Amino acid sequence: MIPWLTPASPDRFSDVRDTSLAKLVREDVLGQILRGVLVPGQRINEPDVAQRLQVSRVPVREALRELESSGLVVSRKHSGVFVRELGADEIRDLYQFRALLDAFVWRSVAALPSKQRTRLIQTLDVSIAAMQEAATSQAVQRYYGENLRFHWAMVEAAGNKAVADAYQGIVQKLHLSRIKNLSKDVGMQTSIQEHSQIVQALKDGDLAQCEALMAQHVGAALERLATHQ
């Protein structure tokens, strides 16, 4: 399960013994950003958030500060807080950083013991089948969610928390650039073919091919995104 796409519990504000209000507000606002309810460039109205969640404005301000430190929102003096809009250079830089992390992830999963690698391959095969079903139905948002699950399964299997945290931050930021394309077919069939080739290389135990295919896949994803901007 992808931690930042897991639906929040309906009664998440009814029991806050172990979680701060600010964290709960942050998760709620983050969820609205990732679902496209709040879109890049849109102002986040502090009083509206407080009223909707039935909290004071103090935890809302703290939550927005945390989101700003994560690079997902930006505060403008005398104007308020807005969902970030990423520039082309920043998107390119994030994809390049993601490519470095993916290379580490693939070296790690390719070196997993046979049983663990087999379980991961089974998970990835199921994910590819789900992506194909979504693509056939032209369900772009469902396809995109499954695409995220595919890559996150590998990140989890690599077993490095620092890498997982960095990867999560990158993907959340890149999501800002994808929101407006979630109703468009951004090369789903081509992407599925790339995923299948990657899994086949993992099945074959070909580490060099795994790394090469993943680097090509990340580069191709950036090109597809740039084409549809």
Decide: pTM greater than 0.85: no
43, 162, 179, 192, 224 from 54: Cα distances, Å:
20, 34, 28, 43, 41
The predicted structure's pLDDT at residue 107 = 85
Q: Is 29 within 8 Å of 70 (Cβ atoms)?
A: no
211: amino acid identity, one letter = E
Q: Give domain limits for the chain.
A: 3-83, 88-227
Average confidence score pLDDT of the chain: 85
Instruction: Please name the residue that has the structure tokens 């997993």.
Output: 112
pLDDT of residue 18: 45
Instruction: Categorize the per-residue pLDDT at 136 as very low, low, confident or very high, splitting at 50, 70 and 90.
Output: very high
Question: Over the stretch 18-36, which tens digit does the pLDDT of each residue have?
Answer: 458 899 999 999 989 888 8
CATH class of 88-227: mainly alpha
Q: Is residue 5 pLDDT above 60, yes or no?
A: no
Average of pLDDT values for 8-27?
67
Under CATH, what is the fold of the domain 3-83? Answer: Arc Repressor Mutant, subunit A (1.10.10)
Confidence of residue 169 (pLDDT cuts 50, 70, 90): very high
Question: What are the helix (H) ranges across 111-139?
Answer: 114-136
Least confident of 17-26, 80-89, 114-123, 137-146: 17-26
Dihedral (CA of 155, 158, 159, 165) sign: negative
Phi first, then psi, for residue 7 (nearest 5°) are -60, 135
Q: Are 100 and 219 in contact (CB under 8 A)?
A: no
Whether the per-residue pLDDT at 73 is higher than 50: the answer is: yes
For residues 181-199, average pLDDT: 81
Q: Residues 40, 84: contact at Cβ < 8 Å?
A: yes
Residues sharing a CB contact under 8 Å with residue 188, sequence separation 6 or more, in sequence order: 131, 134, 135, 140, 143
CB 31, CB 76: distance < 8 Å = no
